[in-house]
Chain A
Amino acid sequence: MADTIVIEVARYSPESDAEPRFQKYEVPLRGDWMVLDALNYIKDKLDGSLTYRWSCRMGICGSCGMVVNGYERLTCETLLAQFAPGPVRVEPLRHFPIARDLVIDMTDFLDKLTRVKPWIVRKDKTPPPREYIQTPEQLGAFKQYSNCINCMLCYSACPVYGIDPHFIGPAALALAERYNLDSRDQGADQRLDILSQHDGIWDCTVIGECSEVCPKEVDPSLAIQEFKLTATKEWFKSFLMPWGGK
């Protein structure tokens, strides 16, 4: 194994750049380093102006999502040595505006998350007298969708979101389904209206790349397709059995 490897990083500073450019740095090639370690080395020792998001460095906070050699990765979980002899190309997540270097503007993503009513909706007028009882089987019904760490890798991988930024997107739809399937929740009908709009589930063409890149195996594509079945059933019910109470 060679001693060093070249990292090619996207740079962009609104004050001085009209558009992003790439800058090369040579970093040590340590066998136990992740790509994030290389970025931290650059910032600490070579060029303190390199800017990127990171936090937990253990794959749970979702801050360090970037595109490494063409694929969406969490840089804290991506072994550097696998790219030897390099170079390693690190770019910001796709389909979001670039604010600075590897930092993207995630406002649209946050809006989409809030839009699907990601909380327990109850029809009771008063709070219950004790905590909700939920069996392990009931938890199992939605647990997978609750593992989302909001890293946005799925939005970067989804061409539909790239073509049409109005698409609500994989993570938000998986989050909606997480609440729909939660036995404590009574808000499925409210979410149905939001999700059945044309920029909701029906924008999805089942490419499946979102589930491919998800670091937490949330499988948002499955959530979307399952909800398409649910939405279709509801649609039939609405005119076959219009008396059904909501």
Chain B
Amino acid sequence: MSSTARTVLPGANPVLALGSDEERRIESGYLRKSDGREKISALREEMQHTMEAGAGIYRVRASIAAAADKIADIQERYKAVSMEDHSRTFNTQLIAALELGFLLDVAETILQCALQREESRGAHQRTDFPARDDIKFLAHSLVSKGSNERPVVSYMPVTITRWPPGKRVYGEQSKDGGHDSH
């Protein structure tokens, strides 16, 4: 089987270089891997259960922190993911494995942002911080990969133009329009 990793000379197109790197990463980390121990579906299901339990609609510091530890553990185990499909033709197991890696990154990001957002807003309901905090958290969470490969969260303030944030109320309470200066 011929290798498709092409040698990219110095000074060549950086996009090609990135592409080459990615090809090598997939080849060695997945397609050629034969010593894996963890099943993709097992890791995926554990991640799903962990996120449902720790970062469902109602969360609290303890549940989020516990989930973060679990996800970190799953990410470590992910390095030993097992691949049975080494074909280069329509390899859906490869897709599943790559997507699992990304899902774990997203899960980690969700948990970090939830942990640091000490307020409740929309689908993020912190039972330990039940109120909305527009002073500290009327902002988008921005996440980047830190030097230790862990997510780093920063904030970008939201500019309110037409609809100010308000308490979600129903029935009698909503008669005044629902918009308050809460």
Contact = CB atoms under 8 A, between A and B. Distances in A.
Contact of A15 (B41, B83, B87, B92): B87
B87 A13 contact: yes
Contacts of A16: 87
A48 B88 contact: no
Interface in B73-88: 82-88
Contacts of A99: 89-90
Given A15-B1, A44-B39, A44-B41, A49 B93 contact: yes
Given A44-B39, A99-B90, A51 B85 contact: yes
How extensive is the interface on chain A, given as a class? 10 to 19
A51 B90 contact: yes
Given A47-B84, A48-B84, A100 B41 contact: no
B67 interface: no
A47 B90 CA distance: 15
Contact of A48 (B1, B85, B90): B85
A42 to B, nearest CB: 11
A26 B87 CA distance: 23
A47 B93 CA distance: 10
Contacts of A51: 85, 87, 90-93
A45 interface: yes
Chain A interface, >50% SS class: loop
Contact of B93 (A14, A15, A48, A103): A48
Interface string A14-57: 11100000000000000000000000000111011101100000
B40 interface: yes
A48 B96 CA distance: 10
Nearest to B81: A48
Interface residues of B, number: 17
Contacts of B89: 13-15, 99-100
Contacts of B85: 48-49, 51
Contacts of A45: 39, 41
B134 to A, nearest CB: 40
- Interface core residue of B40, B84, B85, B88 (most chain A CB under 10 Å): B85
The 9 nearest A-B residue pairs measured at CB: A44-B41, A49-B85, A48-B84, A100-B90, A49-B84, A48-B93, A100-B89, A13-B87, A103-B90
30 contacts: A13-B87, A13-B89, A15-B1, A15-B87, A15-B88, A15-B89, A43-B41, A43-B93, A44-B39, A44-B40, A44-B41, A47-B84, A48-B39, A48-B82, A48-B84, A48-B85, A48-B96, A49-B85, A49-B86, A49-B87, A49-B93, A51-B85, A51-B90, A51-B91, A51-B93, A99-B90, A100-B87, A100-B89, A101-B90, A103-B90
Interface of B: 1, 39-41, 82-93, 96
Given A49-B85, A51-B92, 14 more contacts: A13-B89, A14-B87, A15-B1, A44-B41, A45-B39, A47-B84, A48-B93, A48-B96, A49-B86, A49-B93, A51-B87, A51-B93, A99-B89, A100-B87
